[in-house]
Every structure is written in structure tokens, then in C-alpha cells.
Amino acid sequence: MLKLDLSKIAGFIPQDYVDSRKANLEQAAQMLAAHNGPGGDYTGWVYLPRDYDKEEFARIQAAAKRIQQQSQVLVVIGIGGSYLGARAVVELLASPNYNLKKKDTPDILFAGNGLSTDALLETISLIGDRDFSVNVISKSGTTTEPAVAFCIFKTMLEEKYGKEGARERIYATTDKARGALKGLADGEGYEEFVVPDDVGGRYSVLTAVGLLPIAVAGIDIQALMDGAAQAMEQLSVPGVDNPAWQYAAARHALYENGKKVELLACYEPCFRFFAEWWKQLYGESEGKDGKGLFPASVEYTADLHSMGQYIQEGERLMFETVVQFRPKGEYVIPNDPANVDGLNFLSGKPLSFVAQQAMRAVILAHVDGGVPNVLIQMPQLSALSAGYLIYFFEYVCGLSGYLLGVNPFNQPGVEAYKVNMYALLGKPGYEAQKSELEARL
Ligand code: PA5
């Protein structure tokens, strides 16, 4: 399914970069499989494509159908790991223009992923007088952004449909036993889905967190799980031929040889939010203890005309990982009899040929400029191939974290701003911090 080309990192790192890490990779793979490495309590994602809760999966499919019937809009409320996976897959497989399309599935609007008043007002006006449902996703139930958004949209639903009607339109994805949202959902009788205890937010796209919104968009979530299961099977085979081992070793070797940024590039605009998901996955997993590659992303060819200069000639601190998909359709460039722009040397050629040559040209130019290149070649975009790629990146991320010597499954740094914000907002219990912070501002 996935082809990894590492030929364009040669010369930047020692040739034996995989073999020299074989023992560490072996150990990392064993720790992931046995759930006994640092953060092992959060490695439930490793066998998730095989061991997922089938009963809940059927409920997700049923709830998605119900939402499709009852509403023209689904508002998905969540942030970080409770948001990015769903949006990544919806945009990747149903298009960034999904809401603009003529379709028999609801529009999907994302809320609670920021604190912008204008964005909130726009979301409300986009709903207009259409019927809508809400999927609120929060493991803790106390994250400020989604909690505030849920308060607003719950009130709107209750005003529009009454308490009883609102209850039928609210779907809560949260902890199975604890937390503010869990208590509220139990009390109000919302349909509930579970964020598993052993799966952290950034690894949760293949749980109800991602699957419910993805299914509402009409995407085949069974195929998504099947693709992930295929990857799980193939990548669990130990050895230096395993592409996950190779990619993890390459990343680590490049990091140790001075590269500090991994730039994820794709020539498909629908990949933009997948890259956002990837950035959280790698940034939160590796960026700690003063270590870690900084994950960044670019959309080609558009960004060649903005970021291209820096990539070619700026600080030599990055390597590039390009994800290429085989196109699903084809378009042949027409002939212009006047040939005013001298472009007729391309007429009769498919656009994908131009894209392919552009990609090859960019790879060579960047490598010549000191930017090593990793190429990941995928078949056509489908739920199956997307599921495979999700698991591939997750698994490589787990291996990479262990190679780096960090716990890839915690995120202690995310708390710092939250404590300050709670204090400044006057949340009870944070009074001492509030005066200290106010004095410093
Ligand atoms: O990956 C993570 O753990 C975070 O991005 C969380 O998902 C995010 O902070 C949202 O947390 P919660 O689901 O508790 O609202």
C-alpha cells in the first residue's frame, strides 16, 4: 500500500542509519506491542484497528445515519486531539469544499477549537435556520474552548427544539466514567460515545472521537479501520525492511545530524488538515525535554511560491517528507491554436504529468540545496489508504519517541497556559496565581 523512498537522504546521514538503530528499534517495537514503555498506559491505539469496540462501532454508524436524517448541519465541538483527526479525514476524503458540495449528508461545522467571537458568530450564521445536531467531544469536559462552545450551542438547541428535542440532537464523546461532560451527558440523557482511557487525544482519530463526524460525512469508516488494520499487520513485523522502522530511523538520524525541522509536504490541497493532525501527533509526542523535530507543513505547489525561497536557501535546518497520492481522475491540457503563452509543448499531456515532473524537479532542487527528502508514495486516496496512512504515522511516531528517549504519550507542556488562563479568568481555586500573573502583565 505504502512505498517509502529514502534514496534522497543518502549523503546527509551515515549509510548504516537503520542498522545502527536496529536494537533500539527492536526495543521500541516491543515496548509498543507490550504496552510497557514510557507512557505505555496510552498505547491502546497499537491494536485498536483489531480490538476496537464493535458494539460501539455499530452505534456510531447508527448515530451517523440518525444525524444525517435529523439535521442539515452537524456542529462538531472539540479542540486538539478531540478535533483535528475528524477534520483531517473529512477534508482528506470528502474535500475541504465538502460543505459547498451538493450532497445528501449534513454540512459539518467545527466549533470550540478557538476563542474567536467572530468565528463563532459566523458558525451560527452559517447554520441559519437549518436543523442542526451537535457532537461535543471532550475527554476531560473541562477544556475551556469546547466547554464554552458547548454551553452556547446547547442553549441554542434548547431554545430551538426544547430540552427534550435538544437531547435527541446532542451526542457526547467523552470519558467512560469521569469528568464534567460525562456527568452532564448522564444527567441529561445524551447518547454517549467513549474516548478510551488508553488512547490519548492525538491518537484518537480511529475511536468515536474521529469516527462519528467522519461517518456523518458519508465516509466508509469500516474501510478506514480496515486500512489501519492492514498497516497494523504489516508494520508489526520486526526488521530493517519494515518501512516504519526505516522512516523512524531516518528521522532520528537526520535529527542527530543537525536537522531540526521536518516539513511535511503534499501536492493535494485536501491534505492541509491531515498535516495539521500530523503536526499535533508529532509535536506533542516528541517536543519535550528540550528535544524533538519541529513539525511543519507546506502545500505544494502553492507554497513553492511563498515558502520555496526559504526552503531552498534559508537556514539548513530542515528535511522534507513528501506524501504523494496517485490521482483519482485525469485532465488533459488543451491545445491553444494561438499558442500565445508558448504552452503548447504541454498540450495533450495530463495535468498529473505536469505535477509529477514538478515534484521531481522540487525534490532534486531541495536536495541540492541541502534539504534531504523522504518520499511516501500512496495509491489513490480512499478510506482504505487513509486508514493505512493514519496508522503508519501513528506507529512511526511511537517508535520515534522511544528512539529519541522521551515519553511520546504525555503532554505536560500543554498545561502551562491552561493554568494561567484559568487564573486570569478568575476560576475558583486559582486566586493566588491570578494576583501573581496580573502583577507581571
Ligand atoms: O492530545 C491531547 O490530549 C489534547 O490535544 C486534547 O485532546 C485537547 O486538549 C482536548 O482535551 P479534551 O478532550 O479533554 O477536551
Give the percent of the chain with pLDDT over 70: 100
**CA-284 nearest atom, ligand 1:** 1
pLDDT (tens digit, 9 = 90+) per residue, 329-370? 999 999 999 999 999 999 999 999 999 999 999 999 999 999
Could you report the per-residue pLDDT of 248-277, keeping only the tens digit for each? Answer: 999 999 999 999 999 999 999 999 999 999
Expressed in angstroms and rounded, the spacing between residue 139 Cα and the centre of ligand 1 is 7
pLDDT of residue 267: 97
The finding on whether 140 has its CB within 6 A of some atom of ligand 1 is yes
What contacts 277, CB < 8 A, 6 or more positions away?
84, 85, 87, 88, 202, 205
What is the C-alpha separation between 342 and 315, in angstroms, rounded? Answer: 36
pLDDT at 67 (0 to 100): 98
Choose the residue to mutate in 45, 84, 140 for probing ligand 1, maximizing ligand atoms within 8 Å of C-beta: 140
Pocket test for ligand 1, best of 82, 198, 280 (most atoms within 8 A of CB): 82
Q: Are 78 and 139 in contact (CB under 8 A)?
A: no
Mean pLDDT of the chain, nearest integer: 97
| % of the chain surpassing 90 pLDDT | 93
Please work out whether the CB of residue 411 comes within 6 Å of at least one atom of ligand 1.
Answer: yes
Q: Which of 116-130, 329-343, 409-423 has the lowest mean pLDDT?
A: 409-423
Question: Do the domains at 3-34+225-404 and 46-219 have one common CATH topology?
Answer: yes
Which residues touch 84 (CB under 8 Å, ≥6 apart)?
A: 202, 205, 273, 276, 277, 280
Residue 414 is predicted with a pLDDT of 84
Locate the domains of the chain by residue range.
Answer: 3-34+225-404, 46-219
The pLDDT of residue 55 is 98
Whole-model pTM?
Answer: 0.96
pLDDT band at 419 (very low <50, low <70, confident <90, very high): confident
Q: How many C-beta neighbours within 10 Å does residue 8 have?
A: 19
Class of domain 46-219: alpha beta
Ligand 1 neighbour 201 (Cβ under 6 A): yes
Q: Which residues of 399-423 are buried (b: 16+ CB within 10 A; e: fewer)?
A: bbbbbbebbbbbbeeeeeeeebebb
Sheet holding 132-137, edge to edge: 107-111, 73-77, 132-137, 170-174, 191-194
CATH second-level architecture of 3-34+225-404? Answer: 3-Layer(aba) Sandwich (3.40)
The beta-strand segments (E) located in 32-131 are 73-77, 107-111
Interval between CA 382 and ligand 1 midpoint (Å): 27
Which residues are the active-site residues?
Answer: 284, 305, 418
Mean pLDDT of 380-403: 98
Q: What pLDDT score was predicted for residue 338?
A: 92
Q: With cut-offs at 50, 70 and 90, classify the pLDDT of residue 415.
A: confident
SS3 56: helix
Cell (9 digits) for 420: 494561567
Q: What is the pLDDT of residue 41?
A: 97
